[in-house]
Amino acid sequence: MNEKIFNDNIRLLNLTANFLNDPVDIKNFIKEDDEFYYKVLFATLIGVDLKIDSDKSFFYNYLAPSIKKLDVKDYIDNPYIKRIKPNNKTIGNIKLEYESYKPYEAFIYDSTKIIDDKQILSIGYFSEEFKYLTIKEDNNIWMLLTPNEINTMAKPIANARGKVLSFGLGLGYFQYMASLKDDVKEIIIVEKNKDIIKIFKELILNEFEYQNKITIIEDDLYHFIDNNDLNKYDDIFIDIWRDVSMGNIHYQKIRSKLNNIKCHIDYWIEDNILIYLLNEYYFRHGFSESISLETLKNKKLALKP
């Protein structure tokens, strides 16, 4: 890692985060349905000037590889999306309802990739509307099922086997997909929000083909960890955070508690959380050495957010 790459990584994060958090209706600017045209338009809208050599290099090395046109069919054929189609429902301050990505709206669809120390984002868009299911708490989206959730849970689902312990329920996507596997015998879900549990039981669980594999325990993750033997499980999946900044707080605390657990453990968006920590590490310690995510994980660094 060198300082220029670090600064370009941070620049990419800042420019795209500002744009994605306050999106422009790109459809109004689209003149042709071409992926490269979209990338150039996106660059223009976030202030990257391709007439400037340094910006042109930034575009080809960082921004262009970060953007991809997606196909709606790759996601609507997902087993959960094809089968689980609940109606809108409100219980307490929890609301289950649908939102959508507009045609050409940019969004994060997968984890960040590191290539030669460059942090390449996964920014996607569809050329048609894409509807997705959400859970809102006090009208703020807390959980959703978009391409990002589908892609970032693919590995934990593939790893699930035997007796699975799952922290965080959400829309039940991980649990549904894991339950379809022959080598998954039981899934114990720990969820502390009783309204989310109620919505799940009323509107989603009934559509599971293998409901007999599912057990739900209303409890807090930390209380459950402190009062139960986790070594009796074959696999653990932890997903109690909404995003990287929130995940970083819990991730380090939970990992310190689970140091002696022998079974396999997956943390949702762990790579993105580690990249967050990696950037913190370089910011604090300089660029004298390059550190991989695996090395960073094994260092067990305690970097306060």
Residues 191 and 117 in one domain: no
pLDDT band of 110, cuts 50, 70, 90: very high
- Give the C-alpha separation, 88 to 90, whole Å: 7
Rounded to the nearest integer, the mean pLDDT of the chain is 93
Task: For residue 25, count other CB atoms closer than 10 A to its CB.
Answer: 11
Q: What percent of the chain clears pLDDT 90, i.e. is strictly above it?
A: 80
Residues 66 and 194 in one domain: no
Residues 110 and 184 in one domain: no
- Domain assignment present for residue 141? The answer is no
- Domain assignment present for residue 96? The answer is no
Residues 115 and 182 in one domain: no
- Give the C-alpha separation, 274 to 244, whole Å: 9
Give residue-wise pLDDT tens across range 2-36: 899 999 999 999 999 989 988 788 888 888 889 99
pLDDT band of 298, cuts 50, 70, 90: confident
pLDDT band of 305, cuts 50, 70, 90: very low
- Domain assignment present for residue 193? The answer is yes
Which amino acid, 296? L
Strands 123-125, 140-144: pairing is unpaired
Say which residues have a Cβ less than 8 Å from residue 90's Cβ, sequence separation at least 6. Answer: 96
Residues 157 and 216 in one domain: yes
pLDDT band of 189, cuts 50, 70, 90: very high
Contact 305, 193 (CB under 8 A): no
Q: Can you give the pTM of this predicted structure? A: 0.93
Give 85-144 as a DSSP string: -PPPEEETTEEEEEEEEPTT--EE-S--EEETTEEE--EEE-SS-EEEEEEEETTEEEEE
The domain spanning residue 262 has which CATH number? 3.40.50.150
Q: Is the pLDDT of residue 48 over 70?
A: yes
* Residue 299 confidence (pLDDT): 65
Give residue-wise pLDDT tens across range 243-294: 998 998 899 899 989 988 999 999 999 999 999 989 988 888 888 777 778 8
Domain interval for residue 24: 3-73+104-130
Residues 116 and 189 in one domain: no
Among 87, 115, 130, the domain-final residue is 130
- Domain assignment present for residue 37? The answer is yes
When pLDDT is averaged across residues 123-133 and rounded to a whole number, the result is 97
* Residue 102 confidence (pLDDT): 94
Residues 170 and 290 in one domain: yes
Total structural domains in the chain? 2
- Domain assignment present for residue 82? The answer is no
- Domain assignment present for residue 167? The answer is yes
When pLDDT is averaged across residues 93-110 and rounded to a whole number, the result is 95
